[in-house]
């Protein structure tokens, strides 16, 4: 008979994600993850693989859960510029939450691990391309409705939005207060929305 799994992989992965998010990759040991999850090394390796494979799984879990929390509306095919504004307002609302002082896991991994690991770099780049596409789609939809100027390059502005999100997360990780960061968001949204943006 197959061995009955003694832990919930989704819960264990969420706990492991928190360790990587809090400590970084290099400063996270398998012992740390065992301690946080309550799952044995055998169980972790058997379910997720080695530490790097566990990191990849944690990145995907983070992108899925945080993406739904922050980008749920932007993922819709009919998303528009109001959903972009809503995304930034959601970010602003969560910025004071203590756990967000750890910045963005994807950004942290991009800075720490991706420069030295092609597989991790590819994973980060995949997510960035996907998010850029969400923003660009919303911009095109609003351009078709006359809400955003057609002079704006949707792909370029989509990439600008992702770059802004990543840069602000890195600055937050370094200790900059949210209130000092969001004037940059207002400037970007004014450039995107023009006179339609009310802040």
List, run by run, the mean pLDDT of 10-residue segments along the chain (199 residues): 64 93 93 92 90 95 89 95 94 71 83 95 96 98 96 97 93 84 93 82
Burial status of residue 76 (CB atoms within 10 A of its CB: 0-12, 13-18, 19 or more): middle
8 A C-beta contact, residue 153 and residue 42: no
Q: SS3 for 194? A: helix
Spatial distance between the Cα atoms of 3 and 173, rounded to a whole number of angstroms: 42
* Both tokens assigned to 9: 């992989």
The fold for domain 72-196 equals Tetracycline Repressor; domain 2 (1.10.357)
- Give the per-residue pLDDT at 104: 87
- Give the per-residue pLDDT at 123: 95
- Give the per-residue pLDDT at 4: 43
CATH number, domain 1-58, options 3.40.50.2300, 1.10.10.60, 3.90.1170.50, 3.30.10.20:
1.10.10.60
- Give the per-residue pLDDT at 94: 77
8 A C-beta contact, residue 161 and residue 187: no
Taking CA atoms, 58 is separated from 52, 123, 191, in Å, by 10, 11, 35
Read off the pTM: 0.88
Burial status of residue 142 (CB atoms within 10 A of its CB: 0-12, 13-18, 19 or more): buried
- Give the per-residue pLDDT at 122: 96
DSSP assignment string, 11-35? HHHHHHHHHHHHH-STT--HHHHHH
8 A C-beta contact, residue 39 and residue 12: yes
Q: Radius of gyration over alpha carbons of the chain, in Å? A: 19
DSSP assignment string, 59-125? HHHHHHHHHHHHHTTTTSTT--HHHHHHHHHHHHHHTTSGGGGG--HHHHHHHHTGGG-HHHHHHHH
* Both tokens assigned to 117: 């690991």
- Give the per-residue pLDDT at 172: 83
CATH 1.10.10.60-classified regions of the chain: 1-58
CATH 1.10.357.10-classified regions of the chain: 72-196
């Amino acid at each position: 008979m197959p061995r009955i799994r003694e832990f919930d992989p989704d819960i264990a992965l969420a706990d492991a994600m928190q360790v990587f998010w809090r400590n970084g990759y290099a400063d996270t040991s398998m012992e740390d993850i065992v301690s946080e999850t309550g799952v044995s090394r055998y169980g972790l390796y058997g379910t997720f693989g080695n530490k790097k494979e566990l990191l990849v799984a944690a990145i995907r879990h983070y992108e899925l859960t945080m993406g739904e929390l922050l980008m749920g509306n932007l993922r819709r095919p009919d998303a528009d510029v109001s959903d972009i504004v809503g995304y930034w307002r959601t970010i602003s609302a969560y910025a004071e939450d203590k756990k967000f002082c750890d910045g963005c896991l994807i950004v942290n991994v991009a800075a720490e691990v991706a420069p030295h690991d092609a597989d991790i770099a590819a994973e980060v780049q995949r997510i960035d391309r996907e998010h850029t596409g969400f923003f660009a789609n919303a911009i095109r939809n609003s351009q078709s409705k006359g809400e955003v100027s057609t002079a704006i390059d949707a792909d370029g502005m989509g990439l600008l939005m992702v770059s802004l999100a990543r840069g602000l997360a890195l600055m937050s990780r370094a200790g900059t207060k949210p209130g000092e960061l969001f004037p940059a968001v207002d400037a970007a949204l004014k450039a995107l929305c023009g006179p339609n943006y009310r802040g």
